[in-house]
Amino acid sequence: MASFTESETYQFGLAGEMEIVRELQRYGAYIIPQYNYAENDDFKGPRMHGEGDELVLPDLDVCRNRVRIWVEVKTKTIADLHYKTGDYVHGFNRKHYEHYRQVEAESGNEVWVVFIGRTSREVLCGRLTKIPLHHIYTGDKMGPNGMVFFNVKDLHSLPTLINRLYNGDIP
């Protein structure tokens, strides 16, 4: 049986992460990709360990010009159409969302999320604590922890993140 890191899903996401790494490096950023520091369990990414708990870390630790941020990259085929509102949304695991918010609180470093839409060819981003939640899905059909979703209209283009690394402004 192939490991998770050899799966099509993992490789799809890793390709998106590598694109963002190259783009940020092109603008002078230094990157510590968290996937290089995976622990023995293929199904769990790197974590910050506390005395009685652990927090899942975002994909990338990014530094430039004395600014240090975390970046989580989500590669999607397309944005989802929310049937109740007609809004296009991107989302991810609710447990990871909660962990990333706590990573920001504990580390003092902002957490940004980047959504890559393969079909639309859009790369959208935002600081996780500043993007309003569109809705939270609490069922288990999309995974055991539920999902959080963001309206694509509340996200910014990638130059917003690059600007953050250049001058420290918070959009």
Sorted by where each starts, the structural domains of the chain and their CATH numbers stand as: 4-167 (3.40.1350.10)
3-state secondary structure of 33: strand
Give residue 15's pLDDT: 84
Distance CA 43, CA 93 (A): 14
Give residue 71's pLDDT: 97
- At 52, list the tokens: 């009685």
Whether the CB-CB separation of 149 and 80 falls below 8 Å is answered with yes
The pTM (predicted TM-score) of the whole model is 0.89
Give pLDDT tens digits for 131-142.
999 999 998 888
List average pLDDT for each run of 10 residues in the chain, which is 171 residues long.
Answer: 67 83 95 66 71 92 94 93 96 96 97 94 96 94 90 96 80 50
